[in-house]
Structure 1
Amino acid sequence: MTTQTPVDIDFFGDVKKDANESNILPFTPSQIIYYGVPGCGKSNKIREQLKDVPEKNKVRVVFHPEYTNAEFIGQILPKVNGHVTYEFTPGPFTQIIKRAYLNPNEQFYLVIEEINRGNAAAIFGDTFQLLDRLKAGETDSLGNDPANASVNTFTEGWSQYFVQNDDVNAYIRKATKLDDGSYQERNDGEPIEEIKIKEIHFNANTAIRLPPNLSILATMNTSDQNVFTLDNAFQRRFDMELVRNEFDLTQPAVNAQYNAEIDDTGIKWGQFWGWINAKITATLKGLSSTEDKRLGVWFVSNVGGIIDDKVFAEKVLKFLWDDVFKFKRPQVFAEGIDTLEKLINSFEKPSEGKERFDVFKDKANLVAFVASPTL
């Protein structure tokens, strides 16, 4: 563990470097789900937010339909080293919570991609209770054996409730005590009987809580809400933040994405994006999923300022055919295009006298929109 600058700290309480400096506020943990249409930049928002955070201070996991609580928290698995033993193998949740406990002066992040593509309630299991945090002015001295209850006082940012998990508890206590009184993360050997981090006495009887220096950031595609629905009880424990599906042309990378040409068509991605999203809204008007069907800014990415015709056809056109306009195809696509194969072939290899975007029934409207995007 990196040696920290000595400070006077009451574990996650007020911090002073010396008597002449004002107090530094304790960590305020975040629990945020960033949501929006596919390709709007949810993952990128988190990546930018954490770009200066060391790798050891963040753990990233992707939820999916087969992902389980045992994988997320940890499980007993066989290990072969001359002979077979059965040991607790920590999951990403337990790995990051241990680092947060042992390094109280640093901020840690658990990043969950596609939180609604797995059964989040089942994956979190009883640790779902830990998502409720103590607010300013609240304290809790429960959750420990009588000997510890009088000395362990949990304050703002800690989990309001607690869970008992002997395996996670023991894994956290597997550490090496350094000369300065701090602890080095270690996974082998026996757990230390008790870890004392300032005023917190953590022993075999101490329940598990999320510490204030551990934040949880997640992403959710609104178009995938039918995969596993996040119930209101789960969502209530997170702040929800919409990642707006728009081009911020002040950012060089976003500007380049807007101006990327769709192969040799002379039409920029940003122009097509604006036209097709307006068409989606108008064509599907009244349907509950209309907004979710729109294309995100980064639905496809440019390479060297160009979006390849095959990439556009196989990703964008396929999505429009299979998902967006599934029940509106005759209203959108040109006469004679009655299969996905014809749609892709007509775009990639237009017949003599035809152009790529002739695959759309109202290509003239697209041309007019490109000439005057305010239409």
Structure 2
Amino acid sequence: MISNELISYLKKINEESKFTAILSERGGYITFSNSGQRGSVKYFTLGLDSIITTIKDIFENHNIFISHTNYVEGEWRDLGSTYLNDETANALSTVQTKPLFTTISKLINWANKEKSTPYSDNIIDLDKDSLTKTILQLEELANLYSPKQLSSSKTKISEIKTIVSEKDLKQFAFKTFKVFLDKYGYKKILKNVTEKDSHINEIEYIGIKIKPYFGTGNLIGVFESEQNKETLSSSNTQRFFDENLNITEFPYSYFTTQWADVEGGTLSFNNLQKFVNDLSNGDFEANKNGDKYSLNQKTTVNKYTLQKIYFGAPGTGKSYKIDQEIQNLHPKFYERVTFHPEYDHTNFVGGYRPKSKKNEKGEDIITYQFVPQAFTNIYERAWNDTENQYYLIIEEINRGNCAEIFGDIFQLLDRNSNYTVSPSTELKEHLEKVLTNQDGINKGLRLPSNLTIYATMNTSDQSLFPMDSAFKRRWDWEYIPICYDDIPENESFGYIVIIDDNIAFKWIDFLYNVNTIIKTNANLGMDKCLGNYFIKSETKEISLNDFINKAIFYLWNDVFKDEDNADSIFEKGTSYEDFFPINSNGKNLVLRIIEKLNITIENK
């Protein structure tokens, strides 16, 4: 096995080297060390993907690196900081230059064992063929740790990445806040704030406070116009950073500088630490080690189900299940589409669309250009940011012609990293322009492992375009059942349907009784049942109007319309039109249905 080969090789070569490097027992990481000559030995961890990216960077800049096969610290430090695109590898190249150099050299030597080149801590093989073979070998090794081999929805593999590191608390707080703005969006961060009219010298502004964490301290100052360092200062002290946060609802917003690492202070490190942990649900943590503050992301590298279809009766909470997965994410991390009979490949992937622009004479002219759609947009974002998980969400997938909508892309759902699909000319040209990570287009289209596709399917929908078995087997499937139990997760248990000002009945009783009739009818079955949230209610009260226009219409039009009266909840000769006006005819007919279903009428 390739992993065992590397473990054995590194164990042997470490005996000849002042620096160690090992393949970690769990996860796709290389752990390596410095020589320990200046004190204690220090260890560092780098993911296989980061190492692959690093060697690819060397390959792509081969004409520059080839003259540096002998180790010279200053030269390799400069090369690393200039040409290495992986942030972790770039940082290590400037502070742990020799350990990184020797680790890469060992991996190249291992992948090219047939060359029988003696290993040296001071020499690296930068032959193009050697680099290519190393990349291929490491890709094969990395695939052993690919999410496609994991059957569970989400498996956690601990990995901690430092996002911000500062000695100055003010700078640390500012950079941390900007990271969170980008990650979670201002609406989530500023959800529960208070505002207070304030001023600096003669300039008025609105102070934004997040009291549960920072008490009465102004976290952000919102001004009416652009400010500078001078206007943001008083008593020879700068009160806010002079970089505009450019928050959508607060165009001239500035972050406070009034941080102090003191016990009991409002704008203190302890309060910031709690804010970071709570807002991120523990995904980030703020730490202080000696005189340095750091923001660490627990990329508990979540290995996700790659594609799954949630299916069940209408209203069972399939979309809600997906919403729970993405509820804390900034919208840039997902795209959402709804399939329908008219939805096609161009709507899904993109195509040429007319665009109006000015010519040299200032006249309006029509040109045609490729306009990307949901699939292409999320494909681009996922490839350009492999450190984060991205989601494509398809609602009502069975209502569209999946074979036509996906086209050749459906073959990529196998997630075989060695299999690619050739894109159309216009899609290829577009991706070559927008992808900073050319792995997403070099050999054709290939779905990255950090792109999850979720879909929902109402079993009641009779699609004009049934999914074929080849398409179906490429998905994981999860059935979402109807719940009749009184448990905290089932909010619908407390819903009531208001008939008038005096009487009502329980929604859950109606669901149970009507679904019993539906599922025992051989012509109907479970697919036609009503789900818990077929009608959603924020107040737990369902109006008679909603009940008739949603539940009754569905039952009359899609369930019982062609059934014999003995198998129907509707009286003989009843049409949907008979339920109007709702407050008179509708009320009377609903009461008869409730009586037929043996549902108890209650006083409000």
TM-score normalised by the chain length of structure 2? 0.46
Residue 11 of structure 1 corresponds to which residue in structure 2?
49
8 Å contact from structure 1 (residues 245, 297) kept in 2:
yes
Q: Secondary structure, in 3 states, of the residue corresponding to 1:81?
A: strand
Unaligned runs of 5+ in 2: 1-43, 51-141, 146-157, 162-298, 360-365
Following superposition of structure 1 onto structure 2, how do residues 183-202 of structure 1 map, counting pairs within 5 Å? Answer: 195=436, 197=437
> Which of the numbers 511, 519, 522 marks the counterpart of 1:281?
519
Moved more, 272-281 or 301-310: 301-310
Residue 266 of structure 2 corresponds to which residue in structure 1?
none
> Which of the numbers 378, 386, 403 marks the counterpart of 1:96?
378
> Which of the numbers 402, 415, 421 marks the counterpart of 1:162?
421
| Cα drift, residue 251 of structure 1 | 3.0
Residue 236 of structure 1 corresponds to which residue in structure 2?
473
Residues 340 and 8 (structure 1), Cα distance of their counterparts in 2 relative to 1, 3 Å cut = same
Deviation readout 1:109-133 (Å, 9 max, x if unpaired): 1101111111011000111111111
8 Å contact from structure 1 (residues 7, 17) kept in 2:
no
Residue 261 of structure 1 corresponds to which residue in structure 2?
496
Moved more, 311-320 or 114-123: 311-320
Following superposition of structure 1 onto structure 2, how do residues 323-342 of structure 1 map, counting pairs within 5 Å? Answer: 323-328=558-563, 330-331=565-566, 332-333=568-569, 338-342=574-578
| Cα drift, residue 297 of structure 1 | 0.7
Residues 271 and 232 (structure 1), Cα distance of their counterparts in 2 relative to 1, 3 Å cut = same
Amino acid at match of 1:212: S
Matching of residue 367 in structure 1 with residue 591 in structure 2: no
Matching of residue 246 in structure 1 with residue 483 in structure 2: yes
Q: CA separation in 1, counterparts of 2:396 and 2:570?
A: 35
Residue 292 of structure 1 corresponds to which residue in structure 2?
527
Moved more, 85-94 or 109-118: 85-94
> Which of the numbers 453, 461, 467 marks the counterpart of 1:216?
453
Deviation readout 1:6-47 (Å, 9 max, x if unpaired): 9833338479769xxxx9768445210111111111111111
Q: CA separation in 2, counterparts of 1:334 and 1:129?
A: 47
| Cα drift, residue 348 of structure 1 | 3.5
8 Å contact from structure 1 (residues 16, 24) kept in 2:
yes
Matching of residue 115 in structure 1 with residue 351 in structure 2: no
Amino acid at match of 1:307: I
Q: CA separation in 2, counterparts of 1:73 and 1:246?
A: 37
Deviation readout 1:275-320 (Å, 9 max, x if unpaired): 11112223x2x22x31111111111123523211111112222222
Q: CA separation in 2, counterparts of 1:7 and 1:171?
A: 36
Instruction: Compare the two structures and name the one with the higher helix fraction.
Output: 2
Q: CA separation in 2, counterparts of 1:202 and 1:30?
A: 17
Q: CA separation in 1, counterparts of 2:464 and 2:405?
A: 15
8 Å contact from structure 1 (residues 272, 366) kept in 2:
no
Q: CA separation in 2, counterparts of 1:259 and 1:248?
A: 11
Q: CA separation in 2, counterparts of 1:228 and 1:262?
A: 36
Deviation readout 1:121-175 (Å, 9 max, x if unpaired): 10001111111113xxxx63xxxxxxxxxxxxxxxxxxx3432334333333334
Amino acid at match of 1:338: T
Q: Give the percent of matched residue pairs that are identical in Structure 1 and Structure 2.
A: 33
Matching of residue 79 in structure 1 with residue 79 in structure 2: no
8 Å contact from structure 2 (residues 383, 440) kept in 1:
no
Residues 272 and 346 (structure 1), Cα distance of their counterparts in 2 relative to 1, 3 Å cut = farther
8 Å contact from structure 1 (residues 29, 213) kept in 2:
no
Q: CA separation in 1, counterparts of 2:466 and 2:446?
A: 26
Amino acid at match of 1:9: G
Residues 313 and 26 (structure 1), Cα distance of their counterparts in 2 relative to 1, 3 Å cut = closer
Query: Aligned residues, how many?
Result: 308
Unaligned runs of 5+ in 1: 1-5, 141-159, 176-184, 186-194
Q: Secondary structure, in 3 states, of the residue corresponding to 1:216?
A: strand
8 Å contact from structure 2 (residues 440, 447) kept in 1:
no
Residues 98 and 40 (structure 1), Cα distance of their counterparts in 2 relative to 1, 3 Å cut = same
> Which of the numbers 497, 510, 514 marks the counterpart of 1:272?
510
Residues 114 and 335 (structure 1), Cα distance of their counterparts in 2 relative to 1, 3 Å cut = closer
Q: CA separation in 1, counterparts of 2:313 and 2:563?
A: 20
Residue 152 of structure 1 corresponds to which residue in structure 2?
none
Amino acid at match of 2:575: T
> Which of the numbers 529, 542, 545 marks the counterpart of 1:310?
545
Q: Secondary structure, in 3 states, of the residue corresponding to 1:86?
A: strand
Residues 260 and 124 (structure 1), Cα distance of their counterparts in 2 relative to 1, 3 Å cut = same
Q: CA separation in 1, counterparts of 2:572 and 2:549?
A: 19
| Cα drift, residue 85 of structure 1 | 3.1
| Cα drift, residue 89 of structure 1 | 0.8
Residue 339 of structure 2 corresponds to which residue in structure 1?
63
Residues 208 and 248 (structure 1), Cα distance of their counterparts in 2 relative to 1, 3 Å cut = farther
8 Å contact from structure 2 (residues 485, 493) kept in 1:
no
Moved more, 299-308 or 161-170: 161-170
Residues 230 and 263 (structure 1), Cα distance of their counterparts in 2 relative to 1, 3 Å cut = same
8 Å contact from structure 1 (residues 117, 224) kept in 2:
yes
Q: CA separation in 2, counterparts of 1:17 and 1:336?
A: 67
Deviation readout 1:58-112 (Å, 9 max, x if unpaired): 0011111111111211112232220433221111111100101110101111101
8 Å contact from structure 2 (residues 509, 599) kept in 1:
no
8 Å contact from structure 1 (residues 116, 224) kept in 2:
yes
Residue 329 of structure 2 corresponds to which residue in structure 1?
53
Q: What RMSD over aligned residues (CA atoms) do the two structures have, in Å? A: 3.2
8 Å contact from structure 1 (residues 321, 329) kept in 2:
no
Q: CA separation in 2, counterparts of 1:225 and 1:7?
A: 52
Q: Secondary structure, in 3 states, of the residue corresponding to 1:359?
A: helix
| Cα drift, residue 225 of structure 1 | 3.4
Residues 266 and 174 (structure 1), Cα distance of their counterparts in 2 relative to 1, 3 Å cut = same
Q: CA separation in 2, counterparts of 1:266 and 1:209?
A: 55
Q: CA separation in 1, counterparts of 2:316 and 2:159?
A: 42
Amino acid at match of 2:449: P
Residue 155 of structure 1 corresponds to which residue in structure 2?
none
Q: Secondary structure, in 3 states, of the residue corresponding to 2:352?
A: strand
| Cα drift, residue 327 of structure 1 | 2.9
Residues 273 and 174 (structure 1), Cα distance of their counterparts in 2 relative to 1, 3 Å cut = same
